[in-house]
Chains A and B, each alone.
Chain A
Amino acid sequence: MSEDPRILTAYWDEPDTVWIGRYVQTGGYKGLRKALKMTPQEVIEEVKASGLRGRGGAGFPTGVKWSFVPQDTGKPTYLVVNFDESEPGTYNNRELIERDPHEFLEGAIIAAYAVQCRTAFIYNRGEFLHPGRVLERAVAEAYDKGFLGTNILKSGYDLDVVLHRGAGAYICGEETALLSSLEGYRGQPRLRPPFPAVEGLYASPTAINNVETLANVPHIMVNGAKWFAGIGTEKSPGTKIFSVSGRVNRPGNYEAPMGTPARVVIEEMAGGISDGKRLKAWTPGGSSTPFLTADHLDVGLDFESIAEAGSLLGTGALIVTDERDCMVEACRRLLQFYAHESCGKCTPCREGTWWVTRVLARIENGFGKPEDLPLLSELGDNMLFKAFCALADGAVSPISSTLKYFLDEYEDHVRLGRCPFADRPAEGAEPEGPSGDEEERREAPGALAALEALAEPETPRPIPLSEVLR
């Protein structure tokens, strides 16, 4: 891979990448032509053999997922595209759509053919108003050129694509919540099983795929499974678009083979830490994946290596902090997000995210007590794997990983009665955000006792269920 390793982003540098003319000119829709000459089963086998795994976070083998969609139920089958990209730090799907929508769309049409779907839905994140318009135009172009509609490329295969815009809810990126939302309900997750492959949209067999996953499919069709399997690592083949943000010189999306060391992505591609500072922490796959540190920079960015290092590859979103940044405040801000986005269905998530946010704000603002640190840990334990979906598990990631790697920062907050980073000049994080609890905001050192009494009205401590049942 000494030459340019880019596959998905190969045309991003060119100004006129977006529309169908350029796409077809550079070999676009050849994958679809090839797929339509194969049987759906052969397409599934090819994608299975490539080893392609879902890029939305879970890493499930895509071809296997398609093979789970039964064809003999008497119900229609559906393809639903999850373009509800909302994981903090993640923006690779958005840029894929904005820069080369047909690459994804061709992949979606091939996927729909593989599962014998006649109506596919794209769940477009609501806030992505402009990407949605790009997609609308791309879909119209594809109809116009005969890549969508009836009798596609004279194959006898018919497919319609419906763009469905969400309306502002992180949870709708969770596949069963997405289905609830698409069916016209509140976006709350459902119990699995039945899995969506068997009973998904409208209780019919449904394949749900991420945008980046599908963008790989045309390339697999054209170049073959063996070619794809030879890129990246054995168990995580292909490339991945890594979204790098935070304290780096050149934040951006960078495509690299799976298994590329984090050091290469952060220090070379993204230009290293800004202002000559030292890296403190980074997430491998968005805010729901545990922070890693400078000690992990040589870990390869693939599903297995990152798991071995104690985190998750997630969406491949690297949020980078440096020595200026307070990890207690970073954790508090992320928990504020989870508390806001919890759908409220499950108690451990709804209550847990709320309480943890309060305890973190208390520590950040200088009111923390030594017993708050084990309390945070206990609250995390009461959330992890205790709810329907993975939102609560994701919320525990920043808690457990900051306690693991930055316990000294928590202890300093408690010992000093203030944030040790707050009195740094210039751009350092301030102790309280605009949406923090007013009552917990520190006014002046003299008011501390009074405020503490206000902030702490005999805080009811969550009682472990085991003690209640005893």
Chain B
Amino acid sequence: MPVLGAELFAEAERIKARYPQGRERSAILPLLYLAQSVEGRVTREGLKEVADLLGLRTAEVEAVASFYTMLRLRPTGRYVISVCTNLPCALGGAKELYREAHDVLGPGCEDATEDGLFTLHEEECLGACDAAPVVQVNFANYDRISKERLVEMIDALRRDDPPPPSRGAFPGDFRKASRILAGLEPEGDA
């Protein structure tokens, strides 16, 4: 089953065209985001198709993909919850926050919860330290999150009713967020 169907193949070509001729390898990250936007993670097939698009070997693409935390090679939920526990957030109680999230979501949530809804990620500094402790859901920021608020947020996400982020619009599920990261419109023509 091809990951990138005909319409997406056209988008992939547009992504490549952002970079100077002969430098299409630069498109590897947005192309991997595009593959991730289809499957909700980067699979072997996704790696292979990106490799084919760029004239690379699958192993070369995997070597790149495995370097970056936002490209998910492991099972991934519909909502990726990132809890920053770096020092400024830790001073605001982020460790307890992460532990609470882990307790609520249960074992194995570093990959995906059994219902496929959540992935919990212990995050490094998210660059919003005035709002510590900071949580992201699919890379949308939520400022000054308490344990109680986090539990409420998880409940709302279970109802498929994402709370509005502190800034900007909610990007949608992890696939849609990946599409934005590929530099494409959230809804798109695909």
Contact = CB atoms under 8 A, between A and B. Distances in A.
Contacts, number: 176
A433 B167 CA distance: 29
A244 B26 contact: no
B27 A184 contact: yes
B19 A333 contact: no
A94 interface: yes
Interface string B109-151: 0000000000000111111111110001011110000000000
Contacts of A385: none
Interface stretch (A62-70, A167-175, A366-374, A452-460): A167-175
A168 B167 CA distance: 20
A166 B90 CA distance: 25
Contacts of B102: 434
Interface in A228-280: 243-247, 251-253
Contact of B139 (A127, A287, A343): A127
B177 to A, nearest CB: 7
A395 to B, nearest CB: 13
A184 B25 contact: yes
A119 B181 contact: no
Contacts of A136: 183
Nearest to A171: B67
A192 to B, nearest CB: 21
Interface stretch (A83-91, A147-155, A303-311): A83-91
A428 to B, nearest CB: 10
Nearest to B180: A129
A162 B130 contact: no
Contacts of A435: 85, 122
Contact of A246 (B70, B82, B91): B91
A129 B29 contact: no
A187 interface: yes
A341 interface: yes
B95 A433 contact: yes
A337 B139 CA distance: 19
Interface residues of A, number: 65
Nearest to B97: A434
A289 to B, nearest CB: 13
Given A88-B88, A253-B130, A169 B69 contact: yes
Given A86-B127, A333-B87, A183 B140 contact: no
B130 A168 contact: no
A429 interface: yes
Contacts of A169: 67-69
A341 B132 CA distance: 21
A130 B127 contact: no
Contacts of A76: 20
Contact of B88 (A125, A130, A246): A246
B127 to A, nearest CB: 4
A319 B91 CA distance: 10
B86 A126 contact: no
B25 A88 contact: no
B148 to A, nearest CB: 15
A186 B26 contact: no
Contacts of A434: 85, 95, 98-99, 102, 122
Contact of A243 (B19, B96, B129, B183): B129
A34 interface: no
Nearest to A334: B87
Interface residues of B, number: 57
B44 interface: no
Contacts of A340: 124
B86 A88 contact: yes
Given A246-B87, A333-B90, A126 B130 contact: no
Given A87-B125, A129-B139, A187 B67 contact: yes
A185 B64 contact: yes
Among B29, B32, B87, chain A packs the most CB atoms within 10 A around the CB of B87
Contact of B141 (A130, A243, A317, A343): A130
A163 interface: yes
Given A130-B140, A164-B29, A91 B132 contact: no
A337 B183 contact: no
Nearest to A283: B87
B93 interface: yes
Nearest to B86: A88
Contacts of B30: 164-165
Given A88-B86, A133-B168, A170-B124, A251 B129 contact: yes
Contacts of B82: 127
Contacts of B126: 127
Contact of A167 (B71, B93, B128, B165): B71
Contact of A168 (B27, B69, B180, B183): B69
B165 A127 contact: no
Interface in B135-183: 136, 138-141, 165, 167-168, 171, 177, 180-181, 183
A435 B88 CA distance: 17
A127 B131 CA distance: 16
B57 interface: no
Contacts of B26: 164, 182-184
A419 to B, nearest CB: 13
B63 A167 contact: no
B18 interface: yes
Given A181-B29, A330-B87, A433-B98, 11 more contacts: A89-B87, A94-B127, A130-B141, A165-B33, A167-B70, A184-B64, A186-B63, A243-B129, A337-B125, A343-B67, A429-B90
25 contacts: A76-B20, A86-B125, A86-B127, A90-B125, A90-B127, A126-B68, A126-B70, A126-B139, A127-B123, A129-B177, A129-B181, A130-B168, A136-B183, A164-B29, A165-B30, A167-B33, A168-B68, A181-B29, A185-B64, A246-B88, A246-B132, A247-B91, A325-B91, A341-B124, A427-B93
